[in-house]
């Protein structure tokens, strides 16, 4: 019933010349998304991955279990001195992420260009 979460990793360079890793998600982010969210993050090389951007452009549904996975990712990233940012959230999920406090630890941007331009 829940649509399978897909994730893909892209490497880009910001206009300022920093290397950024983009985790692109597609489908629902729910309790069944552990491999797609945490698994994809944990497969990144820690030594060379310092800027992580989470792309939610193709995500329609995020529930509290999915938010918990994002927070778990943020905790692991924080413990590895990595910075996490996010973009592509709908207005509603931007509000939800703000309500639960995620924006205190991960800045949100409207889209990829805005995120890359700010880093």
Contact between 80 and 46 (Cβ < 8 Å)? yes
Per-residue binding string, another protein, 25-64, x by CB under 8 A, is: -----xxx----------------------------x-xx
Helix (H, G, I), strand (E, B) or coil at 106: coil
Q: What is the DSSP letter of 116?
A: H
| Part of the chain binding another protein (CB under 8 A), chosen from 17-25, 49-57, 80-88, 97-105 | 97-105
Q: What do you get for the CA distance between the two ends of the chain, in Å?
A: 38
Residue from 40, 69, 86, 116 binding another protein (CB under 8 A): 69
Number of residues engaging another protein in binding (CB under 8 A): 27
> Half-sphere exposure (CA, 13 Å, Cβ side) for 25?
32
Q: Which is nearer to another protein, 18 or 58 (CB)?
A: 58
How are the residues of the chain apportioned to helix, strand and coil, as percentages rounded to the nearest 5? Answer: 40, 35, 30
- In the complex, the residues that contact another protein under the rule CB under 8 A are 1-2, 30-32, 61, 63-65, 67-69, 71-72, 74-75, 78, 90-92, 96, 99-102, 104-105
């Amino acid at each position: 019933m829940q649509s399978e979460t897909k994730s893909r990793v892209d490497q880009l360079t910001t206009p300022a010349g920093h290397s950024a890793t983009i985790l692109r998600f597609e489908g629902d982010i729910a309790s069944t998304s552990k491999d797609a969210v945490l698994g994809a993050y944990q497969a990144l090389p820690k030594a060379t991955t310092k800027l992580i951007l989470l792309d939610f452009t193709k995500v329609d549904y995020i529930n509290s279990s999915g938010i918990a996975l994002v927070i778990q990712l943020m905790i692991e990233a924080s413990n590895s001195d990595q910075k996490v940012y996010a973009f592509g959230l709908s207005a509603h999920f931007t509000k939800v992420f703000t309500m639960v406090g995620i924006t205190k630890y991960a800045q949100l941007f409207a889209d990829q260009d805005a995120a890359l331009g700010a880093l």
